[in-house]
Amino acid sequence: MGLKGLVQLFCIVVTLVSVCLVQLKAEDAYKYFTWTVTYGTLSPLGTPQKVIMINGQFPGPQLDLVTNDNVVLNLINKLDEPFLLTWNGIKQRKNSWQDGVLGTNCPIPPNSNYTYKFQAKDQIGTYTYFPSTHLHKAAGGFGGLNVYHRSVISLPYPYPDGDFTLLIADWYKTGHKALQQSLDSGKSLSFPDGLLINGQAHTTLNGDQGKTYMFRISNMGLSTSINFRIQGHSLKLVEIEGSHTIQNMYDSLDVHAGQSFSVLVTLNQSPKDYYIVASTRFSRKVLTATALLHYSNSHSPASGPLPSPPAYHYHWSVRQARSFRWNLTANAARPNPQGSYHYGKITPTKTIVLANSAAIINGKKRYAVNKVSYVNPDTPLKLADYFNIPGIFSVDSIQSLPSNGPASAQIATSVIPNSLHDFIEVVFQNNENTMQSWHLDGYDFWVVGYGFGEWTPAKRRSYNLVDAVTRHTAQVYPNGWTTILVSLDNEGMWNLRSAIWERQYLGQQLYLRVWTAQKSLSTEYNIPANVLLCGKVNGHHHP
Ligand SMILES: *[C@@H]1O[C@H](CO)[C@@H](O)[C@H](O)[C@H]1NC(C)=O
Ligand SMILES: *[C@@H]1O[C@H](CO)[C@@H](O)[C@H](O)[C@H]1NC(C)=O
């Protein structure tokens, strides 16, 4: 009799049948969705343009889950181009088959569908989903993905009176195909035309005076860092991409491309309406979007100047980033305290230093990592690995340290090999004069240090090895570096990419192959029965 059998027997014996059944059911909860992706026409910045909708919604439907929920989501592609969604921050434990990027999945052809099956295993927090194909993200198709706590797990803050999801995105009036053509022809994108909050220029959030609300804020844009603030109100930071933080108060927060935060806001001001403001950071031209926080007993419109943004300089932002701390005594999705994992006491098995660069290859603008500019093969890497198809990717095409020689950048399908259970130190070295934002699929990681100049091993003395937060996306400041520590406990093929979409699209990405020779369902699930095949595995038999 398995554990489940014992639990069931226990339930019957002690006649707490109803309670136990509820818990068993919660354990096994399955949630089914059918999402249809179409084009639509909307005017988010005042002029009509083609957007990508899911079930007729822009942004797409909010995916509200509870920790350990199993999602069965049939995605029907009614666009005229192949399409995939990726679940940003969902760790896909043992299951990179469902990651929804071109290195793991064949794109869903037009007028076709694919049913994702994944579990929000041991996760809690504010996440997102978005299209990983082409420049589809520039047209929408994205949405909030919130994972709520199980009732048996406590939260390190009082239960909020309500919950708002705010997706903030820089936005172009130009369609995604024209943007893509511009990149394909070797030209950078221009600066975006505006900022949207939940796909609109005007949104109103309603709350009651005296109550406390959770604001889940995500930067869904293509490139710009944004600053978020609310007139007359402080933000109490409680969660960053699945980490419960020390609950500091902030007047505003910098949210870099691909990042998410949860804050609590108490409506403790006099009854009126207040401006919610998002504005671009570190840009010569500043784009600003506003929404309204409406007190239900308010009879006065929002008034007065918008709360001003923080100083332009990067040091303000770095200081803020360093102030984010793990609450060591708080639990996250599981009952054990976050601090019971002493990441700072583990000696990394290797160090990888990744330097981004802009490059001209064959006369066109590209971006590279350690002088390799990534290209997607026709066959997903994960499937090439599974079906033993040689020649799709090479594990020696990219060095794990930048080379300082004059060699020019090359095009390749770059993969860094790792063994399951490696514990790695990754340094993102940014020798360019622009902000970077790096995202890793399949994991969260500790962001242990930010600095300026060239990283050297001596910089390790400045690391936070006690209470750094774990997250899935880390910013790197211009002419600076950021170090993360990653426990590679999730077998699979995992995308490490720039969250700045032009850079990702033009080659600033690669894959980490986390591999073990021992094939076991305890470390990786079987290839899904409904796997889509394409490229060189097209003729292969389904599993
Ligand atoms: C497409 O949807 C059908 C149900 O309408 C489902 O049975 C099938 O498995 C889906 N295809 C894939 C590849 O997931
Ligand atoms: C840390 O979490 C605990 C719950 O375990 C909570 O009571 C406490 O207020 C949090 N501490 C800070 C400084 O945020």
Which residue lies with its CA nearest to atom 8 of ligand 2? 156
pLDDT band for 313, please (50, 70, 90 cuts).
Answer: confident
SS3 call for 240 = strand
| Percent of the residues in the chain that have a pLDDT greater than 70, as a whole number | 94
Residues of the chain with CATH 2.60.40.420: 24-148, 162-316, 343-537
Does residue 10 carry a pLDDT above 50? no
Looking at all shown ligands, the one closest to residue 114's CA atom is 1
Neighbour order of strands in the sheet with 509-515: 415-419, 509-515, 492-498, 436-440, 473-476
Q: Is the peptide bond before 59 cis (omega within 30 degrees of 0)?
A: yes
Closest CA to 447 of 429, 422, 472, 423: 472
Nearest in space to 275 (alpha carbons), one of 302, 243, 237: 302
pLDDT above 50 for 208:
yes
What homologous superfamily is domain 24-148 in, according to CATH?
Answer: Cupredoxins -  blue copper proteins (2.60.40.420)
The CATH number of the domain covering residues in 343-537: 2.60.40.420
Ligand 1 centroid – CA 345 distance (Å): 47
Ligand 1 atom with the smallest distance to the CA of 531 is 13
Q: Is there an atom of ligand 2 within 6 Å of 523 CB?
A: no
Ligand 2 centroid distance, CA of 244 (Å): 9
How remote is the C-alpha of 444 from its chain's centroid? 10
**Cα-based distances in Å from 317 to 260, 261, 294, 312, 440:** 16, 15, 29, 9, 22
Q: Is the pLDDT of residue 25 over 50?
A: no
pLDDT of 8 over the 60 cut = no
> Which top CATH class is 162-316?
mainly beta
Q: For the chain, what percent of residues have pLDDT higher than 90? A: 91
Q: How confident is the model at residue 386, as a pLDDT?
A: 95
Q: What is the three-state SS of 86-114?
A: EEECCCCCCCHHHCCCCCCCCCECCCEEE
Question: 361-417: per-residue pLDDT in tens?
Answer: 999 999 999 999 999 999 999 999 999 999 999 888 899 999 877 678 999 999 999
Q: Which residue among 74, 117, 533 is best mutated to probe the pocket of ligand 1, counting the most ligand atoms within 8 A of its Cβ?
A: 74
User: Scanning the structure block, which residue is given the tokens 């006491």?
Assistant: 345
- Quick one: pLDDT at residue 9? 44
Q: According to the model, what pLDDT value does residue 395 have? A: 87
Residue nearest to atom 13 of ligand 2 (CA): 246
Ligand 2, closest atom to CA 247? 14
Q: Helices (DSSP H) in 258-386: which residue ranges?
A: 314-323, 381-386
How far is the centre of ligand 1, averaged over its atoms, from the C-alpha of 76 (Å)?
A: 9
pLDDT of 440 reads: 98
DSSP-based helix, strand, coil % in the chain, nearest 5: 15, 40, 45
Give the distance (Å) from ligand 2 centre to CA of residue 327.
6
pLDDT the model gives residue 174: 97
Cα 171 to middle of ligand 1, angstroms:
33
Instruction: Give residue ranges with CB within 6 A of ligand 1.
Output: 74, 113-115, 530, 532
pLDDT at 404: 74
Q: Is the CB of 156 under 6 A from ligand 2?
A: yes
Task: Examine the pLDDT at 15 and tell me if it is beyond 60.
Answer: no
Category of 68 on φ-ψ map: left (φ > 0), alpha (ψ -120 to 50) or beta: left
User: How many residues are present in the chain?
Assistant: 543
Q: What would the two tokens of residue 275 be?
A: 């401006």
Query: What's residue 407's pLDDT?
Result: 72
Q: CA 442 to CA 532: how far, in whole Å? A: 20
Residue minimizing CA distance to atom 2 of ligand 2: 330
426 in Cβ contact with 352 (< 8 Å): yes
- Asked if pLDDT for residue 239 goes beyond 60, the answer is yes
**What CA–CA distance (Å, rounded) separates 478 from 312?**
13
